[in-house]
Amino acid sequence: MKELIYILSKTNITDKIQIISTIVTAIGIIVSFIISIITLRQNNKFKREETRANIICYIEHISKTSNSYIVIKNLGNSVGKVLRVTLDKNIDLNKILGINSKKYKNIFQRENYILAPNQKISSWYNFIDHDVEDFTVTIEYETLGKNIKKVFY
């Protein structure tokens, strides 16, 4: 350190200005490099969130009848794999389901199926005649290598 101070004291003013400007330029380059890396990481994260599947659940009512559909739909921009859909209440879905076939699987009995962007799957239920009130649907799905769990009330 003493040698550096001695060398700087013996140099003329133009050399000192050049050394200081070189140091300031190097610091600026390092700071701008760090900022660009942080920005690229944030952009990558936003792009991943923007392009992933967004699978939701909602009830669609048919106004002319008492029929309702529980709908699972992918509103995202990428394919999503629905791992499972569950209800929080013990509702006998076969009693309110309009189909008596044992081969038919409603959306709560199906697992590991793919939904493309804007694709939906639904099951018909007659909630009005069977006195079913509030319930919670939980959807577990995979998109872009990430497992997501959503709860709908």
pLDDT of residue 32: 96
pLDDT of residue 116: 95
Q: How many CB atoms lie within 10 A of CB 144?
A: 14
Look at residue 120 in the predicted model and tell me its pLDDT: 93
- Contacts (Cβ under 8 Å, ≥6 apart) of 151: 136, 137, 138
115 in Cβ contact with 82 (< 8 Å): yes
pTM score over 0.75: no
pLDDT score of 95: 57
Going from the first residue of the chain to its last (153 residues), give the mean pLDDT of each consecutive group of 10, the final group possibly shorter: 75 85 95 96 86 91 77 93 85 59 74 93 74 80 93 88
- Nearest CA to 56 among 144, 127, 112, 137? 137
| Residues forming a β-bridge with 139 | 85, 150
Give residue 14's identity as a one-letter amino acid code.
T
Total residue length of the chain:
153
User: What residue has token string 């701008």?
Assistant: 32
pLDDT at 106: 75
Query: What whole-number distance in Å separates Cα of residue 31 and Cα of residue 146?
Result: 33
Distances (CA, A) of 49 to 54, 58, 60: 9, 22, 27
Measure the CA–CA gap between 136 and 145, rounded to whole angstroms.
26
